[in-house]
Amino acid sequence: MTSLVVLPVLIPLCAAAVMLILRSPMWQRVLSFVALLSSLAVAIAVLVEVWTDDEILVTRLGGWPGSFAISMVADRLAAVLVVVALGVTSTVLIFAIGQRSRDEQSPFYHPVYMVMTAGIVQAFLAGDLFNLFVAFEILLMASYVLLTLEGTREQIRSGTTYVVLNVIESLVLVVAVGLIFGATGTVNFAELPARLAELPDGVRNGLQLLLLVAFGIKAAVFPLFFWLPDSYPTAPSSASAVFAGLLTKVGVYCLIRVQTLLFPGEMRGLVLVVGALTMLVGVIGAISQQDMKRILSFHIVSQIGYMVFGLGIGGTAAIAATIFYLIHHIPVKTSLFLVEGIIERDSGSSSLASVSGLARRSPMLAMLFLVPALSLAGLPPLSGFLAKFAIVRAGLDDGHYVVVTVALVVSLLTLVSMVKIWVGAFWGEPSNDRDISQANILLASPSMSVATGMMVALSIAIAIGAGPLYEFAGDAARQVLDVGGYVVGVRGS
Amino acid sequence: MMLFVAIFAQFAVGGLTLVGLRRRPALAAALGVVVLACSAVLVAARGIGGAETSSYSVRWLPILGFNLNVQLDGFAVVMALLVSVLGAAVLVYSLAYFEHDGTYARFVGLFMAFAGSMFGLVLAEDLFTMFVFWELTSVWSFLLIGLNDKSTSARQAAVRALLTTGAGGLCLLAGVGILQVQYGTTSFSELLAAGPSGNFAHAAAILLLLGAFTKSAQFPFHFWLPGAMAAPTPVSAYLHSATMVKAGIVLLARTSPIFADVGVWRWWVVVAGVVTMVLGGWRALREVDAKLVLAYSTVSQLGLLTVLFGVGNRYATYAGVAHIVAHAIFKVGLFLGVGVIDHEIGTRDVSKIGAARRAMPTTTLAMVLSLLSMAGIIPLLGFATKEKALVALLDLERDAVGVVALAGVVVGSVLSVAYSIRLLRAVLRSDVAPERSQVAAHSSVDADHHSSVAVRIALSGPVVVAAAVSLAAGLTAATVGSWLVAPSKSLDVNAVSKLALWPGINDALITSAIVIAVGAVIGWRAPLSQSATSAATGERVFDGLYDTTMRLAKRITAVTQSGSLPIYVGVTLLVAAGGLVAGLVIDAPRLTGGVSWGSPLEALVSIVAMVLAVGVAVARPRFAGALFLGGVGYAIAVLFAMRGAPDLATTQLLVETLTIVVFLLALRSMTQKTGTHVGWTPRVLRLGIAVGVGIVVPLFLLAARASRIRPSPAQEYFARSLDEAGGRNVVNVILVDFRGFDTMGEIVVLAVAALGVVNLVRRAAR
């Protein structure tokens, strides 16, 4: 069972290697699906295993003992995120193939997409700080290639912002890894907690801050989020959907590990303030935009703020709420970008000024937008309401009234910007262009619609199944906070 | 269980209509009427049959106590009956009112979804459940106000309504959260038992009131309601007068017994209610659009209900329950009546609607009865309930709150009578001729449509029935009143009173008589054609706030997202270095402990490397910069070699050489110098950041290295390298065996980078 953990990384990588030889689009597509679905199957098996037993699954690569080897570690949090990530990448693949855009036709699209998936999964499973850095490198390079696949002037331009700031992030991370190794003599997650605790306060704080900065850039928190709203809007919709849904969440996941495993509970106040500012600055950016993709991109930042807020509160209840938020948010954000992709394919634009009257033309599309949009704004009975209220409750419980107030105001502003998209794009006179206004948007590309529908259905399922899912989030939070359990689980002693 | 089935069925019809029955909206509406009627029967059977309260709950997210609890107590029976019966009536009416196109399907779907939400709201047994349905009703209301989404004003009104009620909703949510955290429950009965007091109770009470006041259009949040009249008449009649706007009142009714003694509660409720009642009445007296008159009268009546539920007097609660019923009935009748007139003669102008009198005598008569009920004139139901309200307020202690409440309600009632009488005059006015041109211009009217008896019955039926109910209930006030005792008691165990057609001569009746006389005179003399005095201030304030927020957001975003890569890089580096500085400040004394400074030769090479690094930053020609960069690399290779790592040094030399070659090849096709000239300030800043980071990172490295207490792991690598991995070069063994997985990852990175380059080169070639 334990050797299974590494498979969700290796399968997509092998598929990518094969695809470099096998360049027929048909075979590439088939291979992509086979790779993603088989990885998903393995990931589900792993999840079932860690869910039922209170056990951590570990693969020690090369079979070296204990902390000497690179470990791939699947605890509850990592396992569930791997499943969600593979589910999302599979669904978006359906969308991308249906979209028949120029980038999907490129012989490089599928292999790079596979590599990116492997990178995401590896980041969740890494049990070793340097290996995590490698996963980030894979992610970064693959996402940069996807971002610039069409090679338009605009993409290269914003790709530069993306790659420069993310390379700085890599630099900060590798410096942090080096400094940590220098100070503790290890990069293994199971050994680090004890060794870091031995360090003098100043060095410990400096190292923690450096890691927070590195992962904060990835997660796009204030004031390190610049790269995101400038680069995502130019990416092809299918790519930006995966970026939006998953990439920043890798950063949040790592922040959770920093705050629970490496430096348990330290600097909560700072994290809280960063969370509040991220929520606020992100949503302020969102309401000032006139373009759907830009609005949605700023919302990624704002929503990350809620998760960072949860992390800053700390304690089982808040971490559980954060994990639930993380899981709920992935399908919601992805589906919003997918809906935007459908609109952009139909209207050729994502600007609110040039799109209107969609609700009359396609009520189903309107619903596919409205459900995740209202979920994002935190309206009941959708998953976003439960997630937001859970975090707010935890904040009230701990007496963080100011941040709770910020969270609620941000909630209202989120509604403002969602309403802005709704009123601008979905209400009003449908386009006069007869060719466009007669076409059935959803039937124009059934697989795009099906993929979007699947994501929306997933977010509704999360709302309906919130009881058991939250119980799982609670278990995962307890496991995440139990540093001793993690150490023993990974060392296997 | 059956209650949830009823709610679910209403949602199901709504969903079905939006998805499957878009082309058969009439069928969907018929289905909706059946479901609503069944719900009404269910509620009535439960409410009348079982003396004890039936309740049911769904465990949704039990860990956090997020469960949906509904119960059918006396008050819930009354409200649920109003929701389902009026819903069915309005739906029947809508069959004739709308053309059966896509908009009608949308209407039916949203209408049913709303009915289900409202049904859930009135049955809610705790604040959490109520909040869930509360927000849903806001969303449906938004979509229904914007039903005619091609109209700019409808869209604006919808947004105002949603954001106002949404903001209130968030206040309510905060209140719910505080109560959950402090008392572990939001159940009305358990909170009553807990008897909240202190700061948290205060905060929660204020937040709940904000929620209630935005939803029920109390001053200063009343402005969205008249705007909501942009919706088609059936929507206005159902959502924005009979049901949804009562949600805040329901919340007040449920929570007043809990919070009545908490600080500001009574004061705020009474003042807000009184101001709203007078303000709404005043505006209703001046508006020329009959629908707006009714909208403001709704605002005014909601003010009265707020006062009644807020003062927490045993008579007032009863009067409130009774008046909710009376108001819902006459107001639905009036709205639908105005809708009929609008539909038939194409105008809602109060100076012109008299033209409908001759064509529609039955409808006109029905409207007259409903207007008399609104004015509170014997023998209609409105008289009996208004009477009770006065009795309750006269019974109040004569403290400041009581006096304000009484005086305000008396003034408000005078205005109510006045606008009712003014509208009565308008309806009965015989000296206006119908303007056919308007009829022709009215889109939903055509000849066939007109003549159909079924359409007439469907349109006028609900108006007539509503009037008949007002009259019959007024005549049998004592019986009807006895039905309302249990519902009032379910809110407040002490609630008592009864209704009567003729209460006998007492203070309240005399007050009533004076109110009616004064009001009638004012109403009789009020001009019909005068235009509204001022634009709605509330709307202006809202729009101003909205625009300011947008402007401010643009300004802030211009700073936070400037689009300048140098700024982004600078901030990012500063933040990273800041973290290290913080660490250094704490641990400054440790900097030098146990670190060797190396040989003089190493120092020399290091200084060369530093000078070359400065050269990279300073050099203007690009190729010079590239060469300097290579120089730094070579210097580091020398350092590696001196520290006994010849293979590492070789690798470094090869990589640097290759990099310089590629750089120079690429630079051939680029401009020779680095970007545009930058001013002194940014240059100094950049230099400062670069030097600062360059100093801080090595210092911290020293501190980090100095604080290590564990032995180096190198020994373990040496020990395992030959014996277990079979390699003599430890670095190689680390790369290909111990940490081979990392190496594979880095190879993947290179491969993907190569793909990216090939792709971009190909794109550029095309």
Angstrom distance (rounded) from CA A262 to CA A198: 12
Taking an 8 Å cut-off on Cβ atoms, the answer to whether A202 and B587 are in contact is yes
Taking an 8 Å cut-off on Cβ atoms, the answer to whether A165 and B582 are in contact is no
A185-204 tens-digit pLDDT: 899 999 999 999 998 888 89
- The pLDDT, as a whole number, for residue B438 is 46
> Nearest Cβ partner of A145 from B64, B738, B755?
B755
- The pLDDT, as a whole number, for residue B50 is 57
Q: Tokens 């505006």 sit at which residue?
A: B283
- The pLDDT, as a whole number, for residue A153 is 86
* Residue B214 identity (one-letter amino acid): T
Domains in chain B: boundaries: 1-257, 260-530, 531-561, 575-709, 712-766
Contact by Cβ (8 Å): A374, B144: no
Nearest C-alpha in B relative to A113: B752
Question: Does residue A432 carry a pLDDT above 70?
Answer: no
d(CA B750, nearest CA chain A) in Å: 8
Residue A230: CB atoms within 10 Å: 23
Angstrom distance (rounded) from CA A473 to CA A480: 10
* Residue A57, helix vs strand vs coil: strand
Nearest C-alpha in B relative to A169: B572
Angstrom distance (rounded) from CA B462 to CA B242: 14
DSSP tag of A21: H
Residues in chain A: 493
Which residues contact residue B187 at a Cβ distance below 8 angstroms, ignoring those fewer than 6 apart? B69, B125, B126
Q: Kindly state the tokens that stand for B521.
A: 């005179």
Taking an 8 Å cut-off on Cβ atoms, the answer to whether B568 and A202 are in contact is no
B62-115 tens-digit pLDDT: 999 899 998 888 899 999 999 999 999 999 999 888 887 778 988 999 999 999
d(CA A219, nearest CA chain B) in Å: 13
Q: Pick B671 or B635 by higher pLDDT.
A: B635
Q: Tokens 């390699």 sit at which residue?
A: B727
| Percentage of chain B lying above the pLDDT 90 cut | 44
A131 contacts on B by Cβ (under 8 Å)? 741-742, 745
DSSP tag of B53: P
Taking an 8 Å cut-off on Cβ atoms, the answer to whether A213 and B575 are in contact is yes
Ordered DSSP codes for B320-353: HHHHHHHHHHHHHHHHHHHHHHHHHHS--BTTTG
Question: Does residue B133 carry a pLDDT above 90?
Answer: yes
Angstrom distance (rounded) from CA B57 to CA B69: 4
- The pLDDT, as a whole number, for residue B674 is 60
* Residue A22, helix vs strand vs coil: coil
A308-367 tens-digit pLDDT: 999 999 999 999 999 999 999 999 999 999 999 999 888 888 888 888 888 888 888 999
Question: Does residue B460 carry a pLDDT above 50?
Answer: yes
> Nearest Cβ partner of A217 from B139, B142, B572?
B572
Contact by Cβ (8 Å): B257, B491: yes
Angstrom distance (rounded) from CA B260 to CA B99: 48
- The verdict on whether omega for the bond into residue A233 sits within 30 degrees of 0, i.e. cis, is no
- The pLDDT, as a whole number, for residue A475 is 93
Angstrom distance (rounded) from CA B230 to CA A309: 40
Residue A404: CB atoms within 10 Å: 23
**Number of Cβ pairs closer than 8 Å across A and B?**
291
Contact by Cβ (8 Å): A99, A444: no
Angstrom distance (rounded) from CA A306 to CA A241: 20
> Please, what's the largest Cα pairwise distance for chain B?
114
Nearest C-alpha in B relative to A102: B763
Which of A65-79, A363-377, B41-55, B138-152 has the least mean pLDDT? B41-55
Q: Kindly state the tokens that stand for B271.
A: 């003042």
Taking an 8 Å cut-off on Cβ atoms, the answer to whether B571 and A428 are in contact is no
The pLDDT confidence band at residue B666, using thresholds 50, 70 and 90, is: confident
d(CA A14, nearest CA chain B) in Å: 11
Beta pairing class for A57-60 and B54-61:
unpaired
Q: Kindly state the tokens that stand for B543.
A: 């729009």
Taking an 8 Å cut-off on Cβ atoms, the answer to whether A206 and B703 are in contact is yes
Q: Pick B716 or B408 by higher pLDDT.
A: B408
A21-32 tens-digit pLDDT: 888 888 999 999
Which residues contact residue B633 at a Cβ distance below 8 angstroms, ignoring those fewer than 6 apart? B652, B653, B655, B656, B659
> Nearest Cβ partner of B163 from A149, A203, A415?
A415
> Please, what's the largest Cα pairwise distance for chain A?
71
Instruction: List alpha helices for B588-679, DSSP H.
Output: 600-618, 622-642, 646-667
The mean predicted confidence, pLDDT, of chain B is 87
Question: Does residue A431 carry a pLDDT above 80?
Answer: no
- Cα dihedral B622→B623→B624→B626 (10° resolution): 90
d(CA A45, nearest CA chain B) in Å: 23
Single out the residue of A367, A377, A403 nearest to residue B135, CA to CA: A377
> Taking chain B, what is the end-to-end CA distance rounded to the nearest angstrom?
67
Distance of CA A62 to the CA centre of its chain: 30
Angstrom distance (rounded) from CA A125 to CA A103: 29
Q: Kindly state the tokens that stand for B644.
A: 């006994």
Question: Does residue B140 carry a pLDDT above 70?
Answer: yes
The mean predicted confidence, pLDDT, of chain A is 91
How would you class A374 by CB atoms within 10 Å of its CB: exposed for 0-12, middle for 13-18, buried for 19 or more? buried
B158 contacts on A by Cβ (under 8 Å)? 423
* Residue B632, helix vs strand vs coil: helix
Which residues contact residue B473 at a Cβ distance below 8 angstroms, ignoring those fewer than 6 apart? B326, B329, B381, B480
d(CA B522, nearest CA chain A) in Å: 43
A397 contacts on B by Cβ (under 8 Å)? 181
Q: pTM above 0.90?
A: yes
- The pLDDT, as a whole number, for residue B366 is 93
CA pseudo-torsion sign B160, B161, B163, B167: positive
> What's the CATH number of domain B575-709, 3.90.380, 1.20.120, 1.10.3470, 1.10.287?
1.20.120
* Residue B496, helix vs strand vs coil: coil
d(CA B549, nearest CA chain A) in Å: 9
Nearest C-alpha in B relative to A475: B63
Which residues contact residue B124 at a Cβ distance below 8 angstroms, ignoring those fewer than 6 apart? B69, B70, B130, B133
Beta pairing class for A71-74 and A57-60:
antiparallel
CA pseudo-torsion sign B38, B39, B42, B44: negative
Taking an 8 Å cut-off on Cβ atoms, the answer to whether B587 and A288 are in contact is no
B727 contacts on A by Cβ (under 8 Å)? none
Contact by Cβ (8 Å): B116, B10: yes
d(CA B707, nearest CA chain A) in Å: 6
* Residue B289, helix vs strand vs coil: strand
Taking an 8 Å cut-off on Cβ atoms, the answer to whether B568 and A471 are in contact is no
Ordered DSSP codes for B275-299: HHHHHHHHHHHH-SBHHHHHHHHHH
Which residues contact residue B487 at a Cβ distance below 8 angstroms, ignoring those fewer than 6 apart? B73, B74, B75, B77, B78, B321
Taking an 8 Å cut-off on Cβ atoms, the answer to whether B587 and A203 are in contact is yes
d(CA B6, nearest CA chain A) in Å: 18
Taking an 8 Å cut-off on Cβ atoms, the answer to whether A112 and B576 are in contact is no
Which residue in A213, A258, A295 has the most chain B C-beta atoms within 10 A of its own C-beta, making it the best mutation to test that interface?
A213
Q: Kindly state the tokens that stand for B193.
A: 């038992």
Taking an 8 Å cut-off on Cβ atoms, the answer to whether B738 and A69 are in contact is yes
B687-696 tens-digit pLDDT: 889 889 988 9
A91-150 tens-digit pLDDT: 999 999 888 777 777 888 999 999 999 999 999 999 999 999 999 999 999 999 998 888
Q: Tokens 């402090």 sit at which residue?
A: B182
Q: Tokens 């000296």 sit at which residue?
A: B431
| Percentage of chain A lying above the pLDDT 70 cut | 97
Secondary structure element (H or E) that encloses residue B57, with its range = strand B54-61
Which of A332-336, B229-233, B275-279 has the least mean pLDDT? B229-233
B314-366 tens-digit pLDDT: 889 999 999 999 999 999 999 999 999 888 888 888 888 888 888 888 899 99
How much is the ipTM here? 0.93
B336-347 tens-digit pLDDT: 999 998 888 888
How would you class B3 by CB atoms within 10 Å of its CB: exposed for 0-12, middle for 13-18, buried for 19 or more? buried
